[in-house]
Amino acid sequence: MSRPNLTTSMATRLVDLMRRSGLEEGAHVTEQWAADELEVSRTPVRKAMVFLAEVGILDRIPNRGFFLARDAAALARPDLSEGEDVEQSAYFEIADDYVGGRFTGSFTAADIGRRYRLTPRQADRVLSRMEGEDLVRRKAGGRGWEFQHVMATADAHDQSYRFRMIIEPAALLEPGFTVDTDAFARHRQQQEALLHGDILLLPRAELFQVNASFHEMLVGCSGNQFLLDAVRRQNRLRRLIEYRHQIDRSRLANQAREHLRLLDLVESGDLKEASAFLGAHLDRVRSIKTGIGEESRPES
């Protein structure tokens, strides 16, 4: 399972430092200053600054260094570690515990409240949110709750990606495939926003939704409702396990760039190349997230 890596967690600390320091757009952010303030060596700070430049929070100018791309006050704290919102924090704790095998069987709202230190009203709101996302359901008779069937193992995650590698590229080759110009423009804007800071700043749930809806939009353009229903089901099943992988956001910039490349290929009319690229994209992401990579295959 994915865990916060040093680069991502250091980037989060650096964003917090810049906000606390009240830095304005264009401020020069030096490695030494950040290392001194955070009481760490310059090496992890340098890696974090490169990552922040990659996602658009810092500008990297050759021979000059790193400069803040926007006022630090505009940089909202991400939910990469401790959530400031009690209900949001409990929501992800429940998700992590379920995927990690630490939460099984049926439960009540009172159980949730005791385990995650929530008031009755907070527990009800968290469960209502999870019910709305088809993650939990009320037991027959309305007494207690239970998790819906969602994927929680690396093998299931791998199989899900392999299933998507079959149907999503095929959707682009459907005879009824038609580009939805407005949807393409909206999703292009969202993916570009990820490369201008949103990768680090969006909450995990919203980040998942941006990328899941991107794939649903592409498949929806096929005009084949059965393919779209299949992708939507996979997105529902994989939501909890995907939240874990978004704790480490260091690889997400490349995924956003590949999404933009997909839009370019489709809009150019080269659907065969776009289909092949989408299959390869899903395979790369599958390998990263499941740990089942190219080395497990025979060499061609």
Q: Are 239 and 216 in contact (CB under 8 A)?
A: no
**pLDDT tens per residue, range 145-162:** 998 878 778 888 999 999
DSSP label of 166: H
58-61: strand order across its sheet? 28-29, 65-68, 58-61
For 34-67, the pLDDT digits (tens) are 999 988 888 889 999 998 998 889 999 998 999 9
pLDDT at 102: 86
* Per-residue DSSP letter, 212: H
Cβ 38 vs Cβ 13: under 8 Å? yes
Lowest mean pLDDT among 4-8, 48-52, 140-144, 162-166: 4-8
pTM: 0.70
Averaged pLDDT for residues 119-144: 88
User: In percent, how much of the chain has pLDDT > 90?
Assistant: 48
* Distance between CA atoms of residues 196 and 14, nearest Å: 16
Q: Residue 226's pLDDT is what? A: 97
pLDDT of residue 204: 80
- 296: tokens are 């497990």
Chain segment 94-114, per-residue pLDDT in tens: 988 888 888 888 999 999 999
Domains, the chain, in order of start with CATH, read 6-74 (1.10.10.10), 82-147 (1.10.10.10), 154-290 (1.20.120.530)
Residue 299 pLDDT: 37
pLDDT at 193 over 60: yes
pLDDT at 83: 36
The greatest distance separating any two alpha carbons of the chain, rounded to the nearest whole angstrom, comes to 68
In the predicted structure, residue 5 carries a pLDDT above the cut 70: no
Would you place residue 179 in the very low, low, confident or very high pLDDT band (cuts 50, 70, 90)? very high
Whose CA is closest to 88, among 116, 115, 120?
116
Lowest mean pLDDT among 1-10, 40-49, 200-209, 215-224: 1-10
Encoded tokens for 175: 């005879």
pLDDT at residue 178, rounded to an integer: 97
* Per-residue confidence band for 220, with pLDDT thresholds at 50, 70 and 90: very high
pLDDT at 294 over 80: no
Mean pLDDT of the chain: 87
- Which string of DSSP letters, residue by residue, matches 224-284? -HHHHHHHHHHHHHHHHHHHHHTT--TTHHHHHHHHHHHHHHHHTT-HHHHHHHHHHHHHH
Contact at 8 Å (CB) between 184 and 263? yes
Mean pLDDT of 65-76: 87
Q: Where are the alpha helices (DSSP H) in the chain?
A: 6-20, 31-38, 42-54, 86-99, 109-116, 120-132, 154-171, 181-193, 199-201, 204-220, 225-245, 252-267, 271-290
Q: What percent of the chain clears pLDDT 70, i.e. is strictly above it?
A: 91
Predicted confidence (pLDDT) at residue 16 exceeds the cutoff of 90: no
Q: Which of 296, 269, 263, 297 is nearest to 281 (CA)?
A: 263
245: closest CA among 46, 23, 31, 2? 2
Q: Which two tokens stand for residue 183?
A: 């949807």
